[in-house]
Structure 1
Amino acid sequence: MASVNQGTGRKSSPASFTSMTPPEARAAYEKLAAATPRRAEVETVRDIEIPAETGTFRGRLYRPKEAPVPGGAVLFFHGGGWVIGSVDTHDAAVRSLAAASGLTVISADYRLGPESPMPAAADDALAIFRFIQSHASDYGIDPGKLALSGDSAGASLAASTAVASADTPQRPAALLLFYPSLDQRREAESLASRRIFSEGGPVTKSLSDWFASYALKGVRRDDPRVSPMASRSLAGLPPTMIITAEHDIRHDEGRLFAQRLDAARVPVIWCSIQDAAHGFLEKIGSHAAKEALQDAAFFLKQRLSTP
């Protein structure tokens, strides 16, 4: 995740977010995303409203020319520490995912802290998933082939939604997580990647603490909606792919989640992109983004494509 100096538009250290208010950081993030180049070509892109149980949310539907209708689809939640980010900040990344996979992708907003601290976002994600699935025909998708995905904090929302749906007929068809943030418990601070990459990367300890001060204040961190790693059981989750970045404070969370899925007999693929840092999916055209999208597309096509 990159950031900009408010008012200048110049790139700077992600630590600059910590000197901003959430509205200032949101504006800076939106400004940077608006300048992101190399947008993938997708035949259909349209904004939608998602009137889910917890509120009406902004969404965006991406459909490549070759996407089957009805067919498999992906519901994607953006990252941003549950404080910043939107369908706009992740437009280029989601376009790329749709183009690479040849599948329909729906990107959705959700409530952010501090106005609505966690687990509000997790409740929204679950409600949005249930609405999209129950109204699949409105979007030209197959409700039985709806996958969940997201990056960073959005990956946590995808994971918590999958956990909440594991024992229901509405279980997602697949789960795709990019450098997920999965464990907010205090004991997770001792993970090796938290120590090794606490400074210098796109997401530092100080930035993580800044996000937590707005999104997690007064929240039970062992709530599975906040920390999917704290779930008692991961049995019943759908086939999962976890893509982590080698040089990332969140690296070990993805690795350990994959191990727990494997122990629960859930089909899981974990891959770590070498020399990559947190937020690589937003670096359109980078080696890391290309490699991750290629792997993700192969996984999604296996799980969601119509025979």
Structure 2
Amino acid sequence: MAPPAAMAKIEERDIAGPGGPLRLRIYTPSASGAPLPLMVFFHGSGFVLCSLNTHDGMCRNLASGIGCVVVSVDYRLAPEHKFPQGPDDCLAATRWAAAHAAELGADATRIMLAGDSAGGNMAAVTALRARDEGGPALRGQMLLYPVTDYHTPGTSSYAENAEGYGLTRATMEWFWAHYLNHPGEADDPYASPLRVKDLGGLPPAYVMSAEYDPLRDEAELYGRRLQASGVPVEITRRAGMNHGFLFWVGLVDGADSAMADACAWARRAFQDR
């Protein structure tokens, strides 16, 4: 991986979470003194893997490219902590960040959620729960090649890209088996946001998919369903890319342009009133 963007300050905090102490890593890109927009970030990978450390570079690049404080959330992972424990942590962390924005040097009126892969699922679900369960108000949701639905019945891209491009259908089946308590939970809209009946009233969304990704179609379907519900959405498919390519910013041209485009969208979303 290429060296990520430098930060003015990085700190970690433990807050009281639904299941005990919840670790956050907070990225501040500059020491300007003016309150910055606030992004709450949820890392992928498959509800089971990865950590604050694996996504450190991605968070740095987002903080620098957008000019915002990023709060990265170390939510509980399966199989030890099955659904809905991860989403519970993500909502709690978002509410904490909103309540403590001023002490983080951030603006509580400009909050966005973001995540990649399973973290994109967490971002979409947290946006739904914020709408349904009393806030906080959000400016946007950045969904980077997100998981939005269960693997069965699956979409065309699940068949087209089932193997050979890194993430496989078999791996997704393995992830979901660890995450859910039983397959019937796949119908829960807070597990599979594509199955939510009403997507109205959600914040603007940026949905990024990758051409060679089993999750490509479900990401784009979610974006189109948001659009049909009246939510402002930008959907972008990154040609030639496979799942997880944003780890390669600084190494792969397509990753560089994708990160730049995502950051530009976020800057616009933070400015809109």
- If the length of structure 2 is used for normalisation, what is the TM-score? 0.93
Cα pair 1:185 1:227 within 8 Å, conserved: no
SS of aligned partner of 1:158: helix
Q: Which runs of 4+ in 1 moved over 4 A?
A: none
Map 1:167-206 onto structure 2 (within 5 A). 167=132, 168-184=134-150, 186-187=152-153, 189=154, 191-206=155-170
Map 1:49-128 onto structure 2 (within 5 A). 49-65=14-30, 69-128=34-93
Q: Distance in 2 between matches of 1:200 and 1:254?
A: 20
Distance change in 2, residues 1:208/1:223 (3 Å): same
What is the deviation of 1:163?
Answer: 0.8
SS of aligned partner of 2:64: helix
What is the deviation of 1:193?
Answer: 0.3
The one-letter amino acid paired with 1:271 is T
Mark the runs of 5 or more structure 1 residues left unpaired by the alignment: 1-35
Distance change in 2, residues 1:62/1:305 (3 Å): farther
Cα pair 1:234 1:264 within 8 Å, conserved: yes
2:239 to 274, 287, 302: 274
Match of 1:215 in 2: 179
1:259 to 204, 216, 224: 224
The one-letter amino acid paired with 1:282 is F
Match of 1:289 in 2: 255
Distance change in 2, residues 1:305/1:55 (3 Å): farther
Q: What do residues 62-90 of structure 1 show as CA deviations (whole Å, max 9, x unaligned)? A: 11126663221110000011101111010
Cα pair 1:82 1:118 within 8 Å, conserved: no
CA RMSD of superposed structures (Å): 1.8
Query: How many residues get paired?
Result: 270
SS of aligned partner of 2:57: helix
- If the length of structure 1 is used for normalisation, what is the TM-score? 0.83
SS of aligned partner of 1:125: helix
Mark the runs of 5 or more structure 2 residues left unpaired by the alignment: none
What is the deviation of 1:177?
Answer: 0.7
Match of 1:299 in 2: 265
What is the deviation of 1:171?
Answer: 2.5
Q: Distance in 2 between matches of 1:298 and 1:60?
A: 23
Q: What do residues 71-123 of structure 1 show as CA deviations (whole Å, max 9, x unaligned)? A: 21110000011101111010011111111111111111111111011221111
Q: What do residues 279-299 of structure 1 show as CA deviations (whole Å, max 9, x unaligned)? A: 011113122221121111111
Q: Distance in 2 between matches of 1:303 and 1:37?
A: 27
SS of aligned partner of 1:62: strand
Q: Distance in 2 between matches of 1:185 and 1:80?
A: 15
SS of aligned partner of 1:122: helix
